[in-house]
Amino acid sequence: MSVPGFSFSTDTFTFPNEIRARTAWRPDLYANYCFVLARGLRQFFAFARFDPQAPRLTSEAYAERVRKIAAHQPWDSPPPLDDRVVIPGYANLREFSRGQEAAVKAGLGGRFSTLVHWTNWRVTFPVTGGHQAGVAREVMDELDAGRLVQLLVTNWPKPELNHTVIAYAYRSAPSGVEFVVWDPNEPGEPGLMTFDTEISRFRATRLYDTEPGLIRAFRMYYSWWL
């Protein structure tokens, strides 16, 4: 099952959230923006409309359009197409973020509020199998309803994965359910998380720069509090 209308090849950002430990020497490093990008992906999918035939704008005007998109709460219901923020001159988010990378980054805004959001501290919480089974069920229900799902994923206390991804499809697997995800750190190909029904735990099957193994998952930004 995949969210109708969503395509990894057209509806994702071209540029990545970069990993500071790998390229800390770069003065223009776009690091620690994974929450901004994941939230932004949902906002573009729900609140933007692309018009490739319309004349292109200046970089400043594009940044302002992105700000209008990012002003929507990601859990709000998508408006009709005619009421969405129009991005002229580009066919999709992939093309737009390639051609107007600086404007997109400027419009999406800063990272501070996402880094200190109280729900981030859930990475330190233990979870039960019942809790994780509930998360898996909720993700499938949301995808069935045609909504992208943002997940906080972690294998803390191992200092490797404290991150967010967007689930956009799921399918049956020998050990349970595979969730296909877009990872802000990896714009080139989808990632995979598996919910193992036998042990009621998530596994990092193929997540960028993450050793396969057990992880914990929590839903993110689906209400004012969570």
30-51 confidence digits (pLDDT tens): 988 999 999 999 999 999 999 9
pLDDT at 29: 86
Is the pLDDT confidence value at 91 over 90? yes
Phi-psi region of 155 (alpha: psi -120 to 50; beta: other; left: phi over 0): alpha
* Stretch 207-212: mean pLDDT: 88
Tens-digit pLDDT profile for residues 106-150: 999 987 666 666 676 777 788 999 999 999 999 999 999 999 999
Phi-psi region of 53 (alpha: psi -120 to 50; beta: other; left: phi over 0): alpha
Tens-digit pLDDT profile for residues 160-194: 678 899 999 999 999 999 999 999 999 999 999 99
Statement: the pTM of the whole predicted model exceeds 0.85: yes
The pairing of beta strand 85-88 with beta strand 48-51: parallel
Distance CA 181, CA 172 (A): 15
Distance CA 42, CA 148 (A): 7
pLDDT at 12: 98
pLDDT at 226: 66
pLDDT at 31: 84
